[in-house]
Amino acid sequence: MPRALLLVDVQPTFCEDGDLPVPGGNEIAFRIAEYVLSRRGEYGLLITSQDWHIDPADHFSDEPDFVDTWPPHGLAGTANAEIHPAVTAALGETGSDIAVKKGQHAAAYSAFEGTDEQGRPLGVLLTEAGIDMLDVCGIAESHCVRASALDALRAGLGVRLITDLTVPVTPESGAAAREAIGAAGGHLITTGA
């Protein structure tokens, strides 16, 4: 069965100068773009997810705790919510094969909570495409990447986390994410593997 590549939330909103910046976000976005340019042919599908918040209820706060509540980010229709320009350029005119948006009216960490323009969830789209293996990378490893990888594993997919194409909020939270993904049956790889 073919393998797909999932780019989780590689958006300016999570990069330096964004609304909810993750240190190293821009560097990872450029590295992901390079990977897409050189390795896209190895994948049956290339998938992007985006935080696309319209009114996500109590996900946003003026006094965020950075656990359950956050400053406004990924605001639907803004430049910061679009796919990072470097990745958009690497994807070219055809773009991604599947694009899902999540969190319009609620908190949503996992790409599997996202839907395409026709409202179809990511899990259904992968099943219809015959995908049973998924490589995962993106921003942030400790949050949306982790949630996406764990949901993919729960769905019965074979999952590889590309550790050098993701960045956590903190080194400790990244280590915890890798441990959780490994414990759930995921594999940790690098672009050199």
Q: Catalytic residues, which ones?
A: 9, 102, 144
Could you tell me the two tokens for 115?
């839907």
CA 16/CA 4 separation, integer angstroms: 28
Could you tell me the two tokens for 55?
């009114």
Length of the chain: 193
Could you tell me the two tokens for 135?
């490589």
Strands, E assignment, the chain: 3-8, 45-51, 98-102, 133-139, 158-167, 187-189
The CA angle 123-125-131, to the nearest 5 degrees, is 80
- Which is it for the CA torsion 103, 56, 178, 171, positive or negative? positive
C-alpha distance from residue 66 to each of 7, 62, 71, 141, 148 (Å): 23, 11, 8, 15, 19
